[in-house]
Structure 1
Amino acid sequence: MLTGTGITAGYRDPVVTDVSLTVQPGRTTGLAGPSGSGKSTVARVLALLHKPFSGTVEIDGETVTGFRFKATQRTKIGVLFQQPRLSVDPRFTLRQAIAEPLRGGDVTELADLVMLTGDLLDRRPHEVSDGQLQRACLARALALKPRYLICDEMTTMLDASTTAALVGVIRAYQRESGAGVLAISHDATLLARWADETVRLSAPLPR
């Protein structure tokens, strides 16, 4: 399990306080809440990209001690962000972006998994649509076969058909690998269809 217990985190000041949630293998946990409630902050903590002020993160029973560059357990977690154009080096082709975690190698199987045709792989981000670029980002997130996948508002910039296709790819990956998924979204209808259970964060208190 991927577990966050008593997470208080933010930047100069706390954005979330005493949040606990669990992502179980083979299941999808939804995370919902209004803008500013700290959903992305929780995602970054669980992805080991941001150190909390307090609380603990455990991966398969092992307490995490390192975050960001010290995170030795990062390869167990794949992350898919909201804005694919901020997630990919604009100089990279899609082929290079997908291969980045692999440090080279053939990405044909990964491209096929996310339904990217060969002619798209040699294009750069500005030459493809948001949906095509997010497909490449999903392939990159799955490249190291993570035990857990964190999807932080991954469908916000996508149309309904692309959203359905990417969720279908993730579900198929879960069936094959037993991976757990944290699905973060403001779309209650999507979470109702996708998540096995949903944790809701409250609106931030006025200062």
Structure 2
Amino acid sequence: MSLTATGIRAGYRGHSVLDDVSLSIGAGETVGLRGPSGSGKSTLVRVLALLHTPDAGHVSLDGDRIDGARHRVPADVRTRIAVLFQSPRAAADPRLSLADLIAEPLRALRRPREHVAGRVAELADRAGLTADLLTRRPHAVSDGQLQRACLARSLAHEPRYLLCDEATTMLDASTQALVATVITEQQQRTGMGVLLVSHDPALLARRADRTEDLPTPPASVR
């Protein structure tokens, strides 16, 4: 069981940032990913998350090759993979309360109202969000509180794989520790695989089972 990228070439508007890149995340495994700026770490995350279609190569999920991206992929496949991005403000709709932010992926699949309410309360509690915070919108909370809501949202469908793209870089030490604890507990409970993208060698040494390096692509494909 794994989430695997094989021979990925990808970029934007004819500008390639990945060339023949392969990476695999096993169930229950934490894989670190590091590389210089411009090496395509975030692009690889988007490819693995089925948010960006590669120009070459493919993604396999638990042995099944996945073609396409976003809503071209069935919902029961898309929801096996979740992403926690670096900037919670870029990832959150400023019009939504934190409760609605967490509920968003559940409502998208038309889950019953009672199920959504119970699940939001459970996830918020795990992420350390109090009831008063859940009524606030992103502008009225700190980056750390908003990232905790984004973490809760990412776990809404009990994903098999969680991709963390520099997810704790902007957070204070206490919030970093809480996020790490929630992810570890989820991993131990469900066998979730985790990709940890970071520039912090100490973090990767402490958290990752193994770490892969992503080189800067040759100038010919940049």
| 1:149-203 deviation digits (Å, cap 9, x = unpaired) | 0111101111122111101110100000001011111111111111101111113
Q: Secondary structure at the match of 1:49?
A: coil
Identity percentage over the alignment? 59
Q: Which amino acid aligns with 2:40?
A: G
Aligned match for 1:108, one of 121, 135, 139 = 121
Counterpart position of 2:110: none
| Alpha-carbon distance between aligned partners in 2 of 1:33 and 1:159, rounded to the nearest angstrom | 23
Counterpart position of 1:6: 7
Q: Which amino acid aligns with 2:22?
A: S
2:197 is equivalent to residue 184 of structure 1: yes
| 1:54-89 deviation digits (Å, cap 9, x = unpaired) | 111100000001212212221100111111001111
> What does residue range 118-157 of structure 1 map to in structure 2 within 5 Å?
118-157=131-170
Q: What TM-score comes out, normalization by structure 1 length?
A: 0.97
Q: Secondary structure at the match of 1:158?
A: coil
| Alpha-carbon distance between aligned partners in 2 of 1:165 and 1:83, rounded to the nearest angstrom | 17
Runs of 5+ unmatched residues, structure 2: 108-112
Cα RMSD (Å): 1.1
Q: What TM-score comes out, normalization by structure 2 length?
A: 0.91
> What does residue range 1-207 of structure 1 map to in structure 2 within 5 Å?
1-11=2-12, 12-72=14-74, 73-103=77-107, 105-106=116-117, 107-206=120-219
Q: Which amino acid aligns with 1:75?
A: T
State the shift of 1:32 in Å.
0.4
| Alpha-carbon distance between aligned partners in 2 of 1:196 and 1:79, rounded to the nearest angstrom | 19
Tell whether the 8 Å contact from 2:19 to 2:217 is kept in structure 1 after alignment: no
State the shift of 1:130 in Å.
0.4
Aligned structure 1 segments of 4 or more residues deviating by more than 6 angstroms: none
| Alpha-carbon distance between aligned partners in 1 of 2:84 and 2:163, rounded to the nearest angstrom | 6
Tell whether the 8 Å contact from 2:32 to 2:196 is kept in structure 1 after alignment: yes
| Alpha-carbon distance between aligned partners in 2 of 1:135 and 1:71, rounded to the nearest angstrom | 27
State the shift of 1:206 in Å.
4.3
Aligned residues: 207
Q: Which amino acid aligns with 1:47?
A: A
| Alpha-carbon distance between aligned partners in 2 of 1:58 and 1:174, rounded to the nearest angstrom | 20
Runs of 5+ unmatched residues, structure 1: none
| Alpha-carbon distance between aligned partners in 1 of 2:60 and 2:218, rounded to the nearest angstrom | 28
